[in-house]
Each structure stands twice: as C-alpha cells, then as structure tokens.
Homo-oligomer: A and B are copies of this chain.
Amino acid sequence: MLNELDRGSIKGIHGMGGASMKVLVASWGDFSRWEEVVYKFEDKEFTSKSTLSALCNTIKPNITVIFIPDTLGRDLSSIENLYKKLKESIKDFISSLDVSCDVTVEIVPGIGAFKHGSFIGNAMDAYYLALYKLYKILPKDKNLEVHFDVTHGLNYVTFLVYRALRDLLEILALRRKIHLKAYSSDPFVRGVKELTMHVIEDVDVRPQPLFRSLSSDNKYLKNRDMPKEEFGNLCRRLDCLRYLRMIKRDLNAWMGSIIFGLPLAFASFYPDTIYIEKAIDELVNAYMKNIEIVSDDGKRCIVRRLSFGEDFGTLIKILFIAKVTEDLPHGDELSEDDLLKITDELFKGGSVKYFIKNEIGMISRLIRSYTVTVNNRFQWIKLRDLLRSQGRHLSEQVDVRNFFAHAGLEANLTEIKSDGKSYLRYTTDKVLYGGLKNDPREVIKDIIEKGLFQGQNFFK
C-alpha cells in the first residue's frame, strides 16, 4: 500500500520526466527544553521529543536541513566556540532521537537579549543567510517534493527561513515540478501527552521569475555598526564589489530576458556563474568576519557590524536561476531550434510562448523563402535588410516598444544566416538608437533596463 506521501511523489513526477527528490526543512527553537510526547502523523504514532522522528521516518527525505538561530548557543567565549558548541549540542540531541536520516544543521544569526548574552544585528540577516545556505543545498536539476515543518520554530526565524525557501522554490519551478507541503503539530500544552501533526500548506509551487534588478548603489553589504572610514576601506578591499559593479547591467539584462520573454538575449547574456559564486562567498566571509563579541557591563554581546543588503539576495537568486537554466542553449549565435528550445523550456504557462513562437516562425519562413533564391545558404545579414528586400518599410532606429513586441528579435539588432539550418545572433555593428550610433549590446541593456524600471516603478 502506498501512503499519501508516496502517492504524492508519484503524482509529483508524472508527466514531467527527470528524477524526483524529497527535501525536509525545519525551523527549530530551543530544543533543550522539549519534552517527550506522542506525535500522531498519518495514522502512525511516534514517541519523541521532536516531530523530526515522525517526519524523517515517514517521508524518508533525501535531504534534511534544520535551521536554528545562533542565540541558542551558550558558549560566548568566541564566535567559533559559539557555533561549534551549538552544533555539537544539537547533533547530540538529534542522535538521542530515533531518526533514520542524515541531518544537516544550519545556524543563522538571531536577535534578542537573553540571560546568557545579547545578539545585536539586523533581523533580516537570517533570511539572507538561509537563502545562501539553501542555494547551496537545494538540487538544481530535480523535481522536488519539499516538506517544511514549523512546529518547533521561533516565529521570526520560521518566517524568514520559509520565505527564503519559498523564494528559491519559485525559481526552481521555472524548470521543475515543485510540490510544497508544510506541517505543524498541535500546540504544546504541559500535561497533554499526544500531539497531532497537521498539514498547513499543500501546493504546487508556481514559477516566478525574479522581478527585482540589482540596484544602482550596490547594496550587497550595509554598514550597521562600523566607523565610516573602516567600512569604506573594507569595501575598497573587496574585489567582488568591483567585479559586481562591472557586470551589474549585464546581469540585469539577462534577468530581464526571462521576465520579458527574450530568448536570444537569454542566450547572449547568460552569466558566468563561477565568478558570481566566488563573489557571494566573499561577501559572506566579510559579513562573518565582522561579527564581534564585546563585553557590556560584564554581559557578553554578539554584535554584527555589517548586515546584508537587498542586492545580496537578488544576486543569489540570479545565480540560482543561472544554475537552474544551465542546460539550456547559451552563447552568441543560436540555431532556430535552440531558440525554440529556450522558448519551450523557459516560457511555459502563459501566452508569451505563443507570441514568441509566432515571431520565430515568421522569421524562419522569411529565411526559408530567401534561402531558395541563394543556393540554400547565405552568410550573416541583417534581418532588416532581408525584410526590406521583401518590400517592407523599416526605420533604422531601434525602438523600445518594437524590441519587446518582437521577443527581442528587433530587425536592426538581429542578424541571420543559413547553411540549410537557420541561425540568429545580435549584430556587433553599431546601431541607431535615440538618434545616435551606439554599441548594440549597450542598446539592449538600456532597453531592458527601461522595461525593468517601468515594471519596478509600477510595483513600487
């Protein structure tokens, strides 16, 4: 007999191909205080101090991650000791449960004043670090059945981890089937010995392209509690900030290609993931190195001198999208088949796919009718010139509205060739834009930025 989850998993992978994995994510508070009760889960009973026993032994996840705030740590002699001892004590606790799966523990920065010390920083850092950890942990090429347990979590940590998880799953859903199920047990009441576990969310996650571009002022790290000069020096020493400033507009153009349905721009602006990954690691290192322990009136204070800015989150999401679309064609010159593949794989769901295919089909018919007249092959020519040879009147001026209305295959920017198969690329010749001759790549970036700005201005 299949239990409900097994059935879910089979339904989950049906019709989409590819392997499916199960991921369990939980947010935990102070586990040292939990008491043994009977957890009832799907008609089975598990006597345990935690829902983890029931979830692991029933779901049998391939990956299990527990998020805890560092505020649970008691050894405040150094940051290293704080993390090390806390990991040891939660590992001991998990070992004492009867749990059949490997568990990864991730510590995120918490906030609050406790008897053992104070933790001072930006509360949202936990969101950004959960995003960073989950980016590393989540498989990028699998359909996922994700289980999220809120039972034992602190309100704000659960809220932030859920949001980080959800944000990444919505990106994964651009390519994969993602099912999300969330759980909570009955509230713990002293003296009550049986707690039922409930499903509190059960949805197919809908794909969401990212809709926030990297800002003009490089908000990756923010100065929370550092002398201005020291922060300035730190920023100057970080190679990644220079690099990110340099590639920012290319990244925004690439992201926009997914939002606006521009398959050739997607392929041409596909980013270099290795350098972005390094940049993100460098930012996290800088953040971690600037956590200090100070003594205030004999009491220990963990002070996070930096905090993460919103561009840090956007950057992780851009990298994640790149990883999730790594297998799609990219490069400067694309065959018609490659363009169709990108369109089919990336723009499902709405009607954009039909519009784009209409455009590609129209160009393809043009190329084929021209090919016949030139012995079945021709070298790169402007799409504009081909259209003109058919008697169409076209302006030489690149126009924003036209660019979007033709899936980025604007006639002045696009070149075509054929060797029997049709190919497309963006021209490297300067183009007329805003009345002046401009570099075509810069023109494309400018147009997409305009589109993003319009969109974001609306969403603000």
- Could you tell me if A204 and B354 are in contact, using CB atoms closer than 8 angstroms? no
Question: Which residues of chain B have C-beta atoms less than 8 A from A196's C-beta?
Answer: 111, 113
Assess whether A426 is interfacial by the CB under 8 Å rule: no
Which of B115, B150, B202, B208 makes the CB contact (< 8 A) with A156?
B150
A158–B205 Cα gap in the complex (Å)?
Answer: 20
Task: Given A12-B460, A177-B459, A200-B127, verify A189-B350 contact (CB < 8 Å).
Answer: no
Copies assembled: 2
A187–B155 Cα gap in the complex (Å)?
Answer: 9
- Could you tell me if A350 and B455 are in contact, using CB atoms closer than 8 angstroms? yes
Question: Which residues of chain B have C-beta atoms less than 8 A from A201's C-beta?
Answer: 124, 127, 159, 163
Question: Which residues of chain B have C-beta atoms less than 8 A from A205's C-beta?
Answer: 459
- Could you tell me if B458 and A351 are in contact, using CB atoms closer than 8 angstroms? no
Q: Smallest CB–CB gap between A93 and chain B, Å?
A: 19
Q: Smallest CB–CB gap between A374 and chain B, Å?
A: 26
- Chain B residue nearest in CB terms to A209: B350
Task: Given A151-B155, A349-B458, A458-B349, verify A113-B211 contact (CB < 8 Å).
Answer: no
Segment of A219-227, A233-241, A244-252, A401-409 engaged in the interface with chain B: A401-409
Which of B163, B207, B352 makes the CB contact (< 8 A) with A355?
B352
- Chain B residue nearest in CB terms to A353: B404
Interface membership of chain A positions 146-184, coded 1 if the CB is closer than 8 angstroms to chain B and 0 otherwise: 000011011110111011000000000100010100101
- Could you tell me if A123 and B184 are in contact, using CB atoms closer than 8 angstroms? yes
Question: Which residues of chain B have C-beta atoms less than 8 A from A401's C-beta?
Answer: 354, 357
Question: Which residues of chain B have C-beta atoms less than 8 A from A349's C-beta?
Answer: 211, 259, 455, 458-459
Interface membership of chain A positions 1-34, coded 1 if the CB is closer than 8 angstroms to chain B and 0 otherwise: 0000000000110111000000000000000000
Q: Smallest CB–CB gap between A418 and chain B, Å?
A: 24
> Which A325-358 residues have a C-beta within 8 angstroms of B?
348-352, 354-355, 357-358
A260–B451 Cα gap in the complex (Å)?
Answer: 20
Q: Smallest CB–CB gap between A254 and chain B, Å?
A: 15
- Could you tell me if B207 and A114 are in contact, using CB atoms closer than 8 angstroms? no
Question: Which residues of chain B have C-beta atoms less than 8 A from A369's C-beta?
Answer: none
Assess whether A372 is interfacial by the CB under 8 Å rule: no
A35–B242 Cα gap in the complex (Å)?
Answer: 50
Which of B111, B155, B211, B405 makes the CB contact (< 8 A) with A153?
B155
Assess whether A298 is interfacial by the CB under 8 Å rule: no
- Could you tell me if B261 and A350 are in contact, using CB atoms closer than 8 angstroms? yes
Please give the number of chain A residues whose Cβ is less than 8 angstroms from any Cβ of chain B in the complex: 75
Question: Which residues of chain B have C-beta atoms less than 8 A from A194's C-beta?
Answer: 113
Question: Which residues of chain B have C-beta atoms less than 8 A from A202's C-beta?
Answer: 124
- Could you tell me if A200 and B160 are in contact, using CB atoms closer than 8 angstroms? yes
Assess whether A198 is interfacial by the CB under 8 Å rule: yes
> Which A187-203 residues have a C-beta within 8 angstroms of B?
187, 189, 191-192, 194-196, 198-202
Interface SS of chain A: mixed
- Could you tell me if A159 and B158 are in contact, using CB atoms closer than 8 angstroms? yes
- Could you tell me if A173 and B16 are in contact, using CB atoms closer than 8 angstroms? no
Which of B151, B160, B348, B404 makes the CB contact (< 8 A) with A458?
B348
Assess whether A435 is interfacial by the CB under 8 Å rule: no
Question: Which residues of chain B have C-beta atoms less than 8 A from A323's C-beta?
Answer: none
Assess whether A292 is interfacial by the CB under 8 Å rule: no
Question: Which residues of chain B have C-beta atoms less than 8 A from A348's C-beta?
Answer: 454-455, 458
Given A113-B195, A350-B455: 20 more A-B contacts, CB < 8 Å: A14-B460, A15-B457, A112-B186, A113-B192, A127-B200, A127-B201, A150-B155, A150-B159, A156-B184, A159-B162, A173-B459, A177-B460, A179-B460, A204-B460, A206-B211, A207-B459, A261-B351, A348-B454, A348-B455, A348-B458
* Interchain residue pairs with CB less than 8 A apart (10): A16-B458, A112-B186, A124-B199, A207-B459, A260-B350, A348-B458, A351-B451, A352-B352, A354-B405, A355-B405
The 10 closest A-B pairs by CB, nearest first: A123-B198, A156-B184, A112-B186, A354-B405, A354-B404, A260-B351, A355-B355, A351-B404, A349-B455, A358-B405
A residues bordering B, Cβ < 8 Å? Answer: 11-12, 14-16, 71, 111-115, 122-124, 127, 150-151, 153-156, 158-160, 162-163, 173, 177, 179, 182, 184, 186-187, 189, 191-192, 194-196, 198-202, 204-208, 211, 259-262, 348-352, 354-355, 357-358, 401, 404-405, 407, 451, 454-460
